[in-house]
Amino acid sequence: MDKILSMDVEKNKMKAATIIKYGGLSNIRITQAPRPKPKANEVLVKVICSSVNYANVAHVKANRF
């Protein structure tokens, strides 16, 4: 596993796939972001892994599908 994907983050932070600019998949960076605090009647779901699909790629390329 890539080091950046397995790094520990602070308790009040989370990892996020961030689009730094539109155009291509090379413009996605794994960054740290503030962990949101759930409000009343909300929950915070921990995501272990996720896939990339056509809609995600189109979003990064700023294309409509």
Whether the CB-CB separation of 31 and 15 falls below 8 Å is answered with yes
Residue listed under structure tokens 């779901």: 45
Rounded to whole angstroms, the Cα distance separating 6 from 61 reads 27
Q: Tell me: the pLDDT tens digits for 43-60?
A: 999 888 888 888 888 888
Give tens-digit pLDDT for 5-46: 545 557 789 999 899 888 888 989 999 999 999 999 999 998
Cα gap 4→13, rounded to integer Å = 14
